[in-house]
Structure 1
Amino acid sequence: MRAADIMTTSLLTLSPDLPVATAARMLAERGVSGAPVLDKDGKLLGILTEGDLIRRLAAVTEKPRSWFLGLFGSAAAQADHYARSHGRLVRDVMTTAVETVGEDTPVEQVAALLEKRNIRRLPVVDREGRLVGIVSRADLLKVSLEAPPAAPAAASDAEIRRALSRAMREQPWIDAYFIFPEVQDGVVTIRGFCRSEEVKRGLRVLAEGIPGVREVRIETDPTPPVLLGAP
């Protein structure tokens, strides 16, 4: 599935020359926390977010920095902060460092970017940089709530065992030398030594993700101190 398949296309968009007060009222009336800012050709210039508006509102209480302290800061950074916190037009207040994705970007990559950047939405642009939609966390949530894919064809116990062993070797948090999985009739039983409840849960989730597994049983014991390297 691609970004184009889940993106929202009915959007509130703003002009860079719009007064900030008007833009804030439009966001409030639509009940959205941000809107893309476009030039006359539909190309993305930035995004006006509620964070931008709150920054501007908070600036009312800021005290002017002393001339002496200003010598130790970047003049460009100080000027940018002043413009963004005192600007009257959207172009002066908006966020311009905006992460974007293309229409063919896989939804998994979109989700990873939202998580990595800790942001709520990603504009989707075409090859000319024109905005075509936005993918939000809510759009991804709708995808996750859709019916799960059909169960894969049943696998033999030997196939499950091999797949599980490969998956375990790929995870650094698994003490593979002390974990012994068994498979019978699609039921995975994991025995051996396990250092924590979190690792047990991870093992269960990992095993449940192997095609053909019908059930997972964790029958491990606490890892003895001698195996943990204790004196």
Structure 2
Amino acid sequence: MTTDSLLARDLMTTGVVTVPPGMPVASLAGLLAERGISAVPVTDAEGRLLGIVTEADLVHRLAGKAERAVSWLRRLLGNAESQAEDYARTHGMEARDIMTTSVITAGPDATAEECAQLMERHGIKRLPVLSEGRLAGIVSRADLLVGVLEPPERVGTPEHSRDARIRQALRAEMREQPWAQSLYVFADVKDGVVTLHGYAKSEEMRRGLRVLASRVEGVERVEDKLEVVSVPLPGEVI
């Protein structure tokens, strides 16, 4: 693999959670909260992408319900089609009603640079990757960082895949532990070695994080570079 050959197929996340168009909005909100994700693609039974529901779509729906009734002047001068679409998105009960349908996508052979340009140009955080019209994966901004941080020849190797699995499992386990303060702890993983960076509230928490990381399957060693802080961190409930 050359230094210029990082493609969407190399960077994308393939184990993507998808939902059908008839999924209830309440279930969608629960799914995003439970999985700790900010968006979910909507596909048909054949895997074709129909749209995407983001946290912003759900917030728009919630905010739209609080708006006052449309004035007679706005009804007279406004575009009926756009008003009808906005009504459906703020009052819809299923994914098909509130999803964003004008989704920017890329193909598997799009370069990392092309994916970054699309995200920058359209102000989006994720880029669905379509292969023969079907959803093959998603490239996120975090995935693009791999193109910056990882040597291209290492992407796609068994070692890289193992590190990615460790990183994902570690994040999931930290979210399950309320004491872990995952917002302030960053785990770097390379060749099975986990390096913990960030802040811990106490030596006990620091020790707990070391043990937590060491228990993840595939971890060979844990290097602790955490700093213990005694003052409340931003966003911490006092």
Query: In the alignment, which residue of structure 2 is the partner of 1:199?
Result: none
Residues 1:138 and 2:139 aligned together: no
2:114 to 100, 109, 119: 109
Distance 2:143 2:152 in 1: 16
SS in 2 for 1:101: coil
User: Structure 2: any 5+ residue segments left out of the alignment?
Assistant: 1-5, 154-238
Distance 1:59 1:148 in 2: 45
TM-score by length of 1: 0.62
Query: In the alignment, which residue of structure 1 is the partner of 2:17?
Result: 12
1:101 alignment partner AA: A
Quote the RMSD (CA, aligned, Å): 1.2
SS in 1 for 2:127: strand
Residues 102-111 or 58-67, more deviating: 58-67
Query: In the alignment, which residue of structure 1 is the partner of 2:27?
Result: 22
The CA deviation at 1:60 is 2.3
In the TM superposition, what whole-angstrom CA distance separates every residue of 1:52-77 from its partner, at most 9, and x where no partner exists? 00001112210011223211010000
Segments of 4+ moved more than 2 angstroms: none
SS in 2 for 1:8: coil
SS in 1 for 2:77: coil
User: Structure 1: any 5+ residue segments left out of the alignment?
Assistant: 150-231
In the TM superposition, what whole-angstrom CA distance separates every residue of 1:131-181 from its partner, at most 9, and x where no partner exists? 0000000000122111489xxxxxxxxxxxxxxxxxxxxxxxxxxxxxxxx
In the TM superposition, what whole-angstrom CA distance separates every residue of 1:45-101 from its partner, at most 9, and x where no partner exists? 000000000001112210011223211010000000000011000000000000110
Distance 1:69 1:44 in 2: 34
Alignment length (residue pairs): 148
Q: Computing the radius of gyration over CA atoms, which structure comes out larger, 1 or 2? A: 1
Query: In the alignment, which residue of structure 2 is the partner of 1:95?
Result: 100
Distance 2:56 2:38 in 1: 9
Distance 1:147 1:23 in 2: 37
SS in 1 for 2:137: strand
TM-score by length of 2: 0.60
Query: In the alignment, which residue of structure 1 is the partner of 2:91?
Result: 86
